[in-house]
Structure 1
């Protein structure tokens, strides 16, 4: 097949089973059809999370959730792909997980009642405070394309349409905007989040080792 196999994942493990705490007996027996890279085939969910935790990146992602924005799940999925330290849901605790494609099981997801509570949490982290950078095309915003993205930072994204709330704009340590060249005023929130996270990867991630894979 020129575009890869028709089925996702692998069937039952052929031959003698491997030894180690990371292996899931049920998956070895029945096959692993999950949406995970080959590195984690047949691993338990706990083992995958532990391995990810050993090498998570220095950025966090936060999303305001006042209107049950359907973009949240997609942002969580991108945060998993780029290996965010944590994902923060601000506002309503319930959110639409469909777009996450089960990636929230491998990601640390925290809830905060409002943006000031998120800001206080980031300021009190044991490793040191993490600045809160919002994305919005506001006057005075930094240009993402030319700014030096901090190695430790939390990207904050507002709701689709209105963008960052007024309280979020007041609390953010800085805001940045993404260059656009067409007629629309703004781009999709999940697209903006992916651009911001990839910018961090370009500036800070180790792309030379075997920890990065390309989809």
Structure 2
């Protein structure tokens, strides 16, 4: 994965401060899209900040859920504004595949403090869980600026999280399993927002 050293040696290196001399010399093996090859990490973050979407993602972390890393990775792929971890500060970053370095992350001790921040920022909280009383996300008009809040894999949203949510949405299922993986559910829900609010580019060429 990645690319080798910039061809031609230092005299051929691009004259652009966004490029990292070490990466130009040694190659870039990072998990980044081609247009960010050889860029410094801070330059990539700054560029992403010019086009992040006004969608926030929040995840409860009371038992060190292993799905958090995959949720962060998906949030990075969809350029969400920020990912909020509620509960335990520590979480398994392996599934993030280093994307957490490029994604704004915020920690909250509990649901109450996070909910107060959302109220101050005028961001509605949309819970995502297949619990009684939840409504299908399919066909639902999602707010452009808002928060999608996910619970843990085993327990789903806590009672406090359900109380803080303006509405609780579920992903319609048709098979025999009671629920789908929390990381997969987060990806589906984020993409539902993307299809409504993001500017979708045309076909890509490689």
The TM-score normalised by the length of structure 2 is 0.95
Offset from partner CA, 1:16-45 (integer Å, 9 cap, x none): 110111010000011101110101000000
What do the CA deviations read for 1:78-134 (whole angstroms, capped 9, x no partner)?
Answer: 000011100000000000000000000000000001111111112223xxx111111
Distance 2:103 2:205 in 1: 19
Structure 1 unaligned residues grouped into runs of 5+? 1-7
1:181 to 160, 166, 174: 174
Identify which of 41, 45, 49 aligns with 1:45: 41
What's the RMSD between the two structures over aligned residues? 1.6
Alignment partner of 1:124: what SS? helix
Deviation at 1:208, TM superposition (A): 2.8
Which residue does the alignment assign to 1:13? 6
User: Which stretch shifts more, 201-210 or 45-54?
Assistant: 201-210
Match of residue 163 from structure 1: 156
- Provide the TM-score with structure 1 as the length reference: 0.91
What residue in structure 2 maps to residue 33 of structure 1? 29
SS of equivalent to 1:28: helix
Partner of 2:128: 135
Superposed CA deviations along residues 128-183 of structure 1, whole A, max 9, x for unmatched, are x1111111112332210110011111111101121000111111111101100111
Corresponding position of 1:172: 165
Pair 1:56-2:49 in alignment: no
Of 15, 19, 25, the match for 1:23: 19
* Alignment counterpart, residue 138 of structure 2, candidates 138, 142, 145: 145
Q: CA deviation at 1:209?
A: 6.2
Gaps of 5+ in 2: none
Whole-Å Cα distance in 1 between the matches of residues 163 and 138 of structure 2?
Answer: 23
Which aligned segments of 4 or more residues in structure 1 are displaced greater than 2 angstroms? none
Match of residue 198 from structure 1: 191
